[in-house]
Homo-oligomer: A and B are copies of this chain.
Amino acid sequence: MARRPTIKDIARRAGVSESAVSFALNDRPGVSRDTRARIRRVAEELGWQANSAARALSGERSGAVGLVLARPAHTLGVESFFLQLVSGIQEVLSAARTALLFQVVEDVDAECAVYRRWWAERRVDGVLVVDPRTGDPRPALLAELGLPAVTIGEPGPPAGPSAVPGPSAVPGASVPGPSTGAGASPVSSVRADDAGAMAQVLEHLHGLGHRRIVHIAGLPGLAHTVRRMESLRAEAERRGLGPDHVRSVVTDYSDAEGAAATRRVLAEPRPPTALVYDNDVMAVAGSAVAAELGIPVPHRLSIVAWDDSALCRVTHPRLTALVRDTAGFGRLAAEELLSVLAGGPAGVRESERPRLEPRESTAPAPAHTDS
């Protein structure tokens, strides 16, 4: 069990003062080229790494960022989205030698408590916020704490009396000066093009002749759910389809509610000919329901899954899915956070538009069901 070398050890070995070592290792002026090189070499030999605690204590930087996942334990589960996101985040963070603190909690209140604690303990320099929702208390809290943050997914309108609907984040408008650091509103965000994706899905289905379409949406509290529902409605209207033809029903994302919703809408007198599911689990559950009811997919019912995964490929027929570069989304978020931490302006970044991958679960609508 080796002792970890400190700056003092390097200083002694290199015959210089501790400050010289600090300067040399941090690319600060004050040491000559060859002294710097010598110090670097000694540090290398000794396998020195800065003690993160000491660095945090003096430098006011902990070298870590946090991510809290607020989900009731039983909802955690079959979902590829999250781990892939984290994997993308890590790629960027570990290149910047930044650690990720990860926590799973039950709900948003607990999440806020975690933020407060992390802040008070100075555990993290910033946080990544997932699952932004309508009336979300988190951006306000983080702004109050002055904890730099990036929301993954565009936040909905803020909570409280000042909740003004309308375009909530205009890229250029609230950008602070270049060196504003962690002062004003450190919350920026990365967003997925939900509207564009939904337009794509609708175009695909409409082009196949579908006129009765139901969107089995996720949790209505989540901002992206709302955005998807809104853009579905807008796109449908653009094509002259009203809420009697195209609509959304909300669920909690679970296989159970996905199945139940499917059963319900398929039992209607004029059932839809296409279903769009907000995640892969519900899509698989829904296609199982269709099989059970003896409704052949895709001949009488087309199915689209939002987010691709192994799941969509193990069912029969394989599911047409909206493929996103989830890891890329995570990378984008991490980059934005690092940039904010480095004193850059807060802003909004948009990820690539998802791509629709047609498989066997979508086909032309049955002819006689138009109306």
Residues of chain A having any CB pair with chain B under 8 Å: 1-2, 4, 47-54, 56-57, 62, 64, 73, 76-80, 82-84, 86-87, 90, 94, 99-105, 114, 117-123, 144-146, 182-183, 254-255, 259, 280-281, 284-285, 288, 291-292, 309-311, 313-316, 327
Contact = CB atoms under 8 A, between A and B. Distances in A.
A217 to B, nearest CB: 18
B104 A102 contact: no
Contacts of A78: 78-80, 280, 309-311
B73 A84 contact: yes
Nearest to A119: B4
A313 B288 CA distance: 10
A280 B52 CA distance: 40
Given A84-B77, A102-B86, A103-B94, A4 B122 contact: yes
A288 B314 contact: yes
Given A103-B94, A122-B4, A255 B313 contact: yes
B86 A120 contact: no
Contact of A310 (B2, B146, B254, B313): B254
Given A83-B82, A84-B76, A123-B99, A53 B64 contact: no
Contacts of A288: 314-316
A312 to B, nearest CB: 10
A280 to B, nearest CB: 8
A354 B120 CA distance: 41
A310 B292 contact: no
Q: Closest 9 A-B residue pairs measured CB to CB?
A: A1-B146, A49-B120, A53-B56, A102-B102, A77-B80, A285-B314, A52-B121, A255-B310, A53-B57
Nearest to A81: B77
Given A54-B57, A56-B56, 7 more contacts: A48-B120, A52-B53, A76-B87, A99-B123, A100-B103, A281-B310, A291-B316
B86 A104 contact: yes
A331 to B, nearest CB: 11
B104 A101 contact: no
A4 to B, nearest CB: 6
Contacts of A83: 76-77, 79, 82-83, 104
B90 A103 contact: yes
B310 A123 contact: no
5 contacts: A2-B145, A76-B83, A76-B84, A101-B102, A281-B310
Contacts of A87: 73, 76, 104
A51 B104 contact: no
Given A99-B101, A144-B1, A314-B284, A51 B254 contact: no
Contacts of A285: 310, 314
A218 to B, nearest CB: 15
A2 B120 CA distance: 10
Contacts of A77: 80, 83-84, 309-310
A314 B255 contact: yes
B1 A51 contact: no
A117 B1 contact: no
A310 B284 CA distance: 10
